Amino acid sequence: MMGSFIEFFALRENPFNITPDVDFFFMSSIHQEALASLEYLLETEEGFAVIVGEPGTGKTITIKKFLSQIPDNVEYAYILFPNLSPEEMFRAILEDFGIKIPENASKNRLFSLLRDFLIQKKKEGKKVFVIVDEAQNLPVETLEELRLLSNLETDKEKLLQIILLGQPELERKLNLPQLRQLKQRITVMYRLENLSKDEMVDYINYRLAKAGNSTVRISPKVYDAVYGYSGGNLRLINQLMERSLMSAFVKNKHQIDRQDVEEAASSLGFEKKGGKRWAVAGILIGVIITAAASGYYFYQSKNPSGETDLKNDGKYTESIKYGTVIPDRLNMRKNPELGSEVLYVLKKGSRVEILEEKDGWARVRFKNITGWVKKEYLEQQDEQRNAG
Ligand X SMILES: Nc1ncnc2c1ncn2[C@@H]1O[C@H](COP(=O)(O)OP(=O)(O)OP(=O)(O)O)[C@@H](O)[C@H]1O
Quickly list DSSP for 135-202: GGGS-HHHHHHHHHHHT-EETTEE--EEEEEE-HHHHHHHTSGGGHHHHHTEEEEEE--PPPHHHHHH
Burial letters 92-110, b for 16+ CB under 10 A, else e: bbbbbbbbeeeeebeeeeb
Q: Closest approach of Cβ 41 to ligand X, in Å?
A: 19
Residue 62 or 161 having the CB closest to Mg ion = 62
The stretch among 21-29, 59-67, 97-105, 187-195 that binds Mg ion (CB under 5 A) is: 59-67
- Among residues 26 and 48, whose Cβ is nearest to ligand X? 26
Alpha carbon 138 to chain centroid, angstroms: 16
Q: Which partner, Mg ion, ligand X, none, binds residue 55 by CB below 5 to 8 Å per kind?
A: ligand X
Nearer Cβ to Mg ion (118/132): 132
Q: How many residues make contact with Mg ion (CB under 5 A)?
A: 2
- Pick what 354 binds: Mg ion, ligand X, none; C-beta below 5 to 8 Å, kind-dependent: none
CB 176, min distance to ligand X, A: 20
H/E stretch holding 128 reads strand 127-132
**Burial level of 300, CB count in 10 A (0-12/13-18/19+)?**
middle
Q: 28 vs 247, which CB is nearer to ligand X?
A: 28
Compute the least distance from the CB of residue 184 to ligand X, in Å. 26
Q: Is residue 60 involved in binding Mg ion (CB under 5 A)?
A: yes
Q: Which of 210, 270, 214, 215 is nearest to 240 (CA)?
A: 270
Query: Min. distance of Cβ 51 from ligand X in angstroms?
Result: 9
Beta carbon of residue 132, minimum distance to Mg ion (angstroms, whole number): 11
Q: Which of 149, 128, 137, 164 is nearest to 49 (CA)?
A: 164
Residue 285 or 354: the one with the smaller Cβ distance to ligand X is 285
In this chain, which stretch among 58-66, 110-118, 141-149, 354-362 interacts with Mg ion, using CB under 5 A? 58-66
User: CA 172 to CA 177: how far, in whole Å?
Assistant: 11
Does 19 bind Mg ion (CB under 5 A)? Our answer is: no
Does 294 interact with Mg ion (rule: CB under 5 A)?
no
Query: Residue 194's binding partner, choosing from ligand X, Mg ion, none, with beta-carbon cut-off 5 to 8 A by kind?
Result: none
Q: Nearest residue by C-beta to Mg ion?
A: 60
DSSP, residue by residue, 86-127:
HHHHHHHHHHHTT----TT--HHHHHHHHHHHHHHHHHTT-E
List 354's β-bridge partners, or say none: 321, 364
Q: Which of 289, 296, 266 is nearest to 278 (CA)?
A: 266
Minimum CB distance to ligand X, residue 195 (Å): 9
**Which of these segments, 51-59, 88-96, 168-176, 365-373, binds Mg ion (CB under 5 A)?**
51-59
Nearest one of 325, 313, 332, 320 to 384, comparing CA atoms: 320
Interaction residues for Mg ion, span 118-177 (CB under 5 A) = none
Which residues in this chain contact ligand X in the complex, by CB under 6 A? 18-20, 24-26, 28, 31, 53, 55-61, 167, 234-235, 238, 286
Q: Closer to ligand X at the Cβ: 114 or 135?
A: 135
Which residue number, 60 or 340, has a Cβ lying nearer to Mg ion? 60
Q: Which residue is nearest to ligand X (CB)?
A: 58
CB of 312 to ligand X, least distance (A): 42
Residues 132 and 163 sit within 8 Å (Cβ to Cβ): yes
Number of Cβ within 10 Å of residue 70's Cβ equals 16
In the complex with ligand X, the residue whose CB is nearer, 19 or 300, is: 19
Give me the numbers of helices (H) and strands (E) for the chain, helices first please: 13, 16
Rounded to a whole number of angstroms, the minimum distance from the CB of residue 170 to ligand X is 10
Quick one: 24 or 66, whose CB is closer to ligand X?
A: 24
DSSP code per residue over 188-201: EEEE--PPPHHHHH
Nearest CB to Mg ion, comparing residues 56 and 336: 56
From residue 288, give the alpha-carbon distance in Å to each of 52, 283, 294, 300, 356. Answer: 20, 9, 10, 18, 35
CA atoms within a 13 Å half-sphere pointing along the CA-CB vector of 264 = 27
Partner whose footprint covers residue 286, from Mg ion, ligand X, none (CB < 5 to 8 Å by kind) = ligand X
Of the ranges 52-60, 205-213, 241-249, 331-339, which one interacts with Mg ion (CB under 5 A)? 52-60
Point out which residues bind Mg ion (CB under 5 A): 59-60
